[in-house]
Amino acid sequence: MVHFAAESHVDRSIKNPEVFVQTNVIGTAVMLNCAKAAWELPDGSFKEGKKFLHVSTDEVYGSLEEDGGYFYETTPYSPHSPYSASKAGSDMLVKAYMDTYKFPANITNCSNNYGPYQFPEKLIPLIINNALNGRKLPVYGDGKNVRDWLYVEDHAKAIDMVQEKGRLFETYNVGGHNEKQNIEIINIILETLREMLPDSDPRKANVSGDLITYVEDRKGHDRRYAIAPDKIRDEIGWVPETMFKDGIRLTIKWYFENEEWMKNVTSGDYQKYYQSMYKE
């Protein structure tokens, strides 16, 4: 069993923290109890072959200095947003079930994902959609916050491998070896869009660095995340396969081919959310 379900956007957690506690903490407790009830045998052991894989985030570890250091599985938790605090709480629940009941589980803590179907409140699809439509490209603070980017298919492979090969009761960090500043990500997207759009497409004229607009920084904005995925590499054999330059082209291609999906998810309530976040 793989437990993906989560409220995952920091901005939303700042506005509505109780929703994140309900989904990420209470929701995880419900899932743990359901799995425990289904798998536990009369003697307190668990059915052979059952495992609860809890998918979490690197944000539980807090923030790193700009000039070095990485998150390891042994890094103390230091969450700074309601989102990361709620995920830290859910991780601790899973750890408690493993310790108390010998509940068969693993935890994975991954870096920022990107790829198809990502909702456009997240940085990469937001920038793709806004650039194509000639809208401002909002950048928090100085744009130099660093994230480690992981293509979604690489993450899916890591989850599958941990589910199959991970040692019970262990945590595995999953990182992409793709550290980049937010402003770098935006400029790479703009450059790639200009390369991929045919000259005949009128949207090409929209794709300009002039759209970059610096906005007030996010409250409690962590400066840098970076994962050391040594353990998952050494124990399970997983390594990220997708270079960012390739992953971003695959992502943009998907959004080109699924414009109707993007139009549908950015209508209605999304517009109200966007205006409230970026004051447009």
**Rounded CA separation 240/179 (Å):** 13
Q: 3-state SS of 144-189? A: CCEEEEEEHHHHHHHHHHHHHHCCCCCEEEECCCCEEEHHHHHHHH
Of 7, 11, 70, 83, which residue is the catalytic one? 83
φ, ψ (nearest 5 deg) of residue 113: -90, 155
**Rounded CA separation 252/257 (Å):** 9
Spatial contact of 53 and 3, defined as CB atoms under 8 Å apart: yes
278 is catalytic: no
- Which is it for strands 146-151 and 112-114: parallel, antiparallel or unpaired? parallel
Other C-beta atoms lying within 10 Å of the C-beta of residue 66: 12
Query: Is residue 110 within a helix (H) or strand (E), and if so which, with residue range?
Result: strand 105-110
**Rounded CA separation 223/182 (Å):** 11
58 is catalytic: yes
Spatial contact of 78 and 59, defined as CB atoms under 8 Å apart: no
Amino acid type, 70: Y
280 is catalytic: no
Spatial contact of 3 and 31, defined as CB atoms under 8 Å apart: yes
Spatial contact of 176 and 111, defined as CB atoms under 8 Å apart: yes
Of 11, 59, 121, 154, which residue is the catalytic one? 59
**Rounded CA separation 186/137 (Å):** 8
Quote the strand ranges of the chain, DSSP E: 2-3, 52-57, 105-110, 112-114, 137-140, 146-151, 171-174, 179-181, 212-215
Of 7, 11, 58, 121, which residue is the catalytic one? 58
What are the residue numbers of the active site?
58-59, 83
